[in-house]
Amino acid sequence: MEDLFRALFLFLLTAIISAYGSLQLGPVNGGVLRYCLRRNFRAAILLGLGGSLTELPYAAIALFGSDWLQSMDGLENWIRWGLVPIFFLMGLKFLFSARPKTEIPDQTSPQQERNPLYEGMLLALFNPQLPLFWISILLWYKSSLALYPQSLAQNLAFIAGTASGAFFLMWILVRIARKNQDRLLALSSRYNPEKLIGWFFILLAIAQLIRQFFA
């Protein structure tokens, strides 16, 4: 019974931390925003779900490969430098693939450019900092809370919590966007959503570059 309570506490705490960590702007948030600007809220939910599911293997890597990852000197620095060209290229992709401004399709439109679930998974793969983030959380669990996962139930609770918290935040963001459809429609009618997201990623690349120089 004690193992079950520890697993439940691990799940809830990890889900809260995951939701908080997902507030940081990144590829998945940008993809969700793009679909919300086009009022395709179902696709935004699916993209958020795909991005959240990618937390599962990254959390497993952090859980079962933490010793190996920590032994690789300079890995975190290389990953952070690598994010700069990734964000920049994604920004250029959206800018050059932006369609001419047309009437924004309704969220029930059957037309779909791509599978948003797979798109969310692909976008989340461009965030290789996730294993390092969860390694730091696991170390904090162990040193400050004496809560390091020790059983199969606790390991699964930790892994499930990472995805659940991230998806919950994406769901909340879509709900907020849905309640403000009129403002979103006014914004998307004035500005091309693909171009907005393109500049969004380029700004992320610039911010990451500045962070690396002044870290």
In a domain, 108, yes or no: no
pLDDT digits (tens, 9 = 90+) for 54-96: 999 989 988 887 656 556 666 667 767 877 887 788 778 767 7
Is 24 contained in some domain?
yes
Total number of domains in the chain? 1
Domain span holding position 127: 2-103+115-214
**Does residue 109 fall inside a structural domain?**
no
Q: How many helices (H) and strands (E) does the chain have?
A: 11, 0
Indicate whether 123 belongs to any domain. Answer: yes
- Could you report the per-residue pLDDT of 124-173, keeping only the tens digit for each? 887 767 777 888 788 788 767 788 888 899 999 999 999 999 999 999 98
Residue 20 lies in a domain: yes
Q: Which of 30-44, 78-92, 181-195 is least confident?
A: 181-195
Residue (of 161, 189, 181, 205) closest to 19 by Cα position: 161
Q: What is the pTM of this model?
A: 0.71
Q: Is residue 14 part of a domain?
A: yes
Asked, for residue 30, whether it belongs to a domain, the answer is: yes
